[in-house]
Amino acid sequence: MILAHADQATRRYGDVLALDRVDLTVSAGELVGLLGPNGAGKSTLINMLVGLRRPSAGRVELFGGDPRQPASRRQLGVTPQETGLPGTLRVSEVVDFVAAHFPDPVPRGELLDRFGLTDQAKRQTGGLSGGQRRRLAVALAFVGRPRLVVLDEPTTGLDVEARHTLWEAIRSFHADGGTVLLSSHYLEEVEALAQRVVVLGQGRVLADDTVGAIRDIVGVRRVSLAADDLPALPGVVATEHTDGRTHLLTTDADQLVRDLVTAGVAFRDLEVRPTSLEEAFLTITAADPTRTTADPAGTGTATSAAVGGRPTA
Amino acid sequence: MPLTLVHARYQLLEIIRVPVAVVGSAFFPAAAMLFFVVPFAGDDPTGATYATAAMVTFAVMSANIFQYGIGVAEDRDQPWNPYTRTLPAGPEPRLAGRILAGLVLTYLSMLPVVIIAAVATAARVTPVGLLLGAVTVAVVSVPFTLLGLAIGYSLPSKAAIVVAQVIFFPLAFGGGLLSAPGDAPGFIQVVAPFLPTRGAVELMWAAVGDWRPDPLALAMLGVWIVLLAALSGWAYRRDEGRRFS
C-alpha cells in the first residue's frame, strides 16, 4: 500500500527551481531517509507531502488523496521545528491542543512517559532545554496514532544521548508497523535508522536505494596510511589528515594501492575500508559536475549521478 | 464546533500569558478618553455619551487592526503555524477560533473606556442602549478584523507593524473619532463618510443615542466590508507561510 507519493513533483519559488520533477513513493512499513544538503529540496518535498505547499507542476498524494485536504492528513504525524513551539504554553497544553485534532489520541500521560517528559508536563515550553523541546516536538508527531510519520531533521542540534533516545522511539514505532519518512543532513542518522535512502541534490533525486546499495553505487573506499610525503595520485576524491595518518577517498582502492606501490612511496599501516554514507554522499553531490547523468530515480544503475549540491549553510 | 473553541482557548491562553499585549490595545483609547473626553465633554451628557461611543469605536479599531495585523503576521513567521496546518483540520477552526479570541479581547480592551465614562463623565446610556452598543461592537469589528487579516496575511511581520500604525491614525482622525459629531474640521467632514471608521462610529452613536446615521457613511461601510473581505480572502489563499523556503 502506498502512503505517500510524488509524481514528477516540481516547485518553483520565483526563478528558483527548488524541486525538479521528483518521483518518490513511500509504501506502508518502510523507513525512508531523505538525504541531502541544505537547499537540496528536502523541506520543499516534505512540505508538499504534508499539505503545506502545492506543487507548481506534477502531483503529490497522501493516503491516496490530496495532502491539502484535511481528511488526507488524519493518519499523518508531523514534527514541528523545536524552535516553533509556543513558548508560553505548558507541555501538557501543547499535547492536549494537538490531541484535540485526532479521534483517538494517545493519552497524554502515556505519551509524555514514552518521551521522558512526565516531569516537565507543567512547564512552559519556552523554559525547556533544547533536548526536551526536541523530544516534545517529536512526541507531537505520535499523538494521533499515525500510520505515517514525517520527521524533518528530527535531531538537529541534539547531543548524542538525546539523539539515541529519539532514534529508539522512531525504531520502536517502525517495529510496530509504522511508516517513517525522515529527512536529515546527519548522514549518521539516516544510516542508523533508514533501510532505504533517497538522495536529493539541487532539487533532483540523485539516488534512491538501500543504504548498502548507495554505498556500493558510489563505491568509495577509504585508504588510510601513514606516510611522510605523498605524490599527487590519480583517482583520489578527497584527502584528510588526522593524527599523523593520511586518509584518501577513492572510487578505485585497488588501483590507488598499485599506484602507491609503483610510485615507491614509503608508507606504513595501510588500511582499506568502506566509507560511511557521509563520504559516499559527499561524492555523489560534489563529484565531477560533467557527469550529470541524474539517472531516473530508483533504477540503481547509475555509477555516479553527480550534481553539485549547494553548499551547506 | 468544539475545535473552534479549542483554538480560541489556546489563542487566549497565549495572549493572556503575556498580558502586556492586552494592556497595549486598551491603553490608547483609555488615555485618549482621560485626556480629551473627560476634561472637555465630561459634563455634557449627550456629548460625553457620543464621545465615549467614539472612543469605544477607536478601541475596537485599534484592538482589531493590531491583534490581527501584527498577530497574524507574527504567527506566520513562527514555525508553529505551518505545523498546525499539517493537523487534520481545515483552516476554518483556526480562523474561527482566532476571531472568537479576538472578539473577547476587543471587549476587554474597550472595558476601561466604558468604566472611565461611567465614573468620570456624565455619559448616560439606557440598559437597552448598552446592550445595543455591545452588539454593535461585534458588528463594527467586522471591517477592522478583515483589515487586520488582510494586513497580517499579506505582509511580513515587520512590515505589518508599520502598515498597521500608518493606517490606524488617518482612519481614527479622518473618520472623526476624535471630534464630536458634526463638529469636526471641514476637510474631515468631507473625507469621513468614505472611511470605514465613520460608518462604524455612526452605528455606535445610533446604538447608544438618538443619532441618525449618515446613509453615505453606512453605504461606504458596506463597500469597505466587501472590499476588505475580498482582499483578506485573497491574501489568505495565497499565503503559504513565509515567502521563502
- Over residues B81-91, the mean pLDDT reads 87
In Å, how far is B30's CA from the nearest CA of chain A? Answer: 27
Q: pTM for this one?
A: 0.78
pLDDT at A291 over 60: no
For B42, phi then psi, to 5°, come to -60, -30
Among residues A278, A46, A33, the alpha carbon closest in space to that of A19 is found at A46
Number of A–B residue contacts, CB under 8 Å: 72
- pLDDT value, residue A174: 94
Q: Are strands A148-152 and A267-274 parallel, antiparallel or unpaired?
A: unpaired
- pLDDT value, residue A299: 37
- A64-78, A277-291, B92-106, range with the lowest pLDDT: A277-291
- pLDDT value, residue A289: 42
Whether B147 is covered by a domain: the verdict is: yes
Exposed/middle/buried for A153, CB within 10 Å: 0-12, 13-18, 19+?
Answer: buried
Q: Are A125 and A84 in contact (CB under 8 A)?
A: no
Whether B244 is covered by a domain: the verdict is: no
Q: Lay out the sheet containing A245-250: strands in order across.
A: A236-242, A245-250, A221-227, A267-274
- pLDDT value, residue A100: 95
Strand runs labelled E in B43-145 = none
**Chain B contact set for A18 (CB, 8 A):** 245
- The pLDDT confidence band at residue B42, using thresholds 50, 70 and 90, is confident
Rounded Cα gap, residues B63 and B69, in angstroms: 10
pLDDT tens-digit map of A202-215: 888 888 988 887 76
Q: How many CB atoms sit inside 10 A of residue A219's CB?
A: 16
Exposed/middle/buried for A311, CB within 10 Å: 0-12, 13-18, 19+?
Answer: exposed
Yes or no: domain A2-214 corresponds to CATH 3.40.50.300: yes
Whether B51 is covered by a domain: the verdict is: yes
Mutate to test the interface with B, among A38, A43, A47 (most CBs of B within 10 A): A47
Q: Are A288 and A272 in contact (CB under 8 A)?
A: no
- Over residues A223-235, the mean pLDDT reads 85
Rounded Cα gap, residues B34 and B48, in angstroms: 12
- pLDDT value, residue A301: 34
pLDDT tens-digit map of A22-40: 999 999 999 999 988 777 8
Q: Are A96 and A143 in contact (CB under 8 A)?
A: no
Three-state secondary structure readout of B127-175: HHHHHHHHHHHHHHHHHHHHHHHHHHHHCCHHHHHHHHHHHHHHHHHHC
Residue-averaged pLDDT of chain A: 83
- The pLDDT confidence band at residue B46, using thresholds 50, 70 and 90, is confident
Q: Do B82 and A47 touch (CB under 8 A)?
A: yes
Among residues A309, A277, A270, A313, the alpha carbon closest in space to that of A292 is found at A309
| Binding-site residues on chain B for chain A (CB distance < 8 A) | 2-3, 6, 10, 13-14, 17-18, 78-83, 85-90, 240-241, 244-245
- pLDDT value, residue A293: 38
**Chain A contact set for B241 (CB, 8 A):** 52
Among residues A148, A158, A145, A137, the alpha carbon closest in space to that of A110 is found at A145
- Over residues A35-62, the mean pLDDT reads 89
Tell which wins on pLDDT, A161 or A173.
A173
Q: Are B232 and B208 in contact (CB under 8 A)?
A: no
- With a threshold of 0.90, tell me whether the complex ipTM lies above it: no
- pLDDT value, residue A175: 94
- pLDDT value, residue A282: 65
Whether B71 is covered by a domain: the verdict is: yes
pLDDT at A264 over 80: yes
**Chain A contact set for B11 (CB, 8 A):** none
- For residue A240, the one-letter residue type is E
Determine what percent of chain A is predicted with pLDDT higher than 70. Answer: 86
Whether B243 is covered by a domain: the verdict is: no
- pLDDT value, residue B192: 86
pLDDT at B173 over 90: no
- Over residues A223-248, the mean pLDDT reads 84
- Over residues B127-131, the mean pLDDT reads 90
Rounded Cα gap, residues B71 and B90, in angstroms: 20
Q: Are B63 and B25 in contact (CB under 8 A)?
A: yes
HSE of A112 in the Cβ direction (CA atoms, 13 Å)? 18
Q: Do A100 and B6 touch (CB under 8 A)?
A: yes
- pLDDT value, residue B146: 94
- pLDDT value, residue A103: 92
The grid cell for B181 is: 459629531
- A36-50, A289-303, B54-68, range with the lowest pLDDT: A289-303
In Å, how far is A104's CA from the nearest CA of chain B? Answer: 13
Stretch(es) of chain A classified as CATH 3.40.50.300: 2-214
Among residues A42, A1, A298, A4, the alpha carbon closest in space to that of A177 is found at A1
Tell which wins on pLDDT, B44 or B222.
B222
pLDDT at B222 over 70: yes
pLDDT at A179 over 80: yes
Q: Do B88 and A80 touch (CB under 8 A)?
A: no
Range of the domain at B152: 2-238
- pLDDT value, residue A116: 87
Domain total of chain B: 1
Selecting from B79, B89, B240 the residue whose C-beta is nearest the C-beta of A70 gives: B89
**Chain A contact set for B86 (CB, 8 A):** 50-52, 73, 76, 78
- pLDDT value, residue A281: 65
pLDDT at B243 over 80: no
Whether B52 is covered by a domain: the verdict is: yes
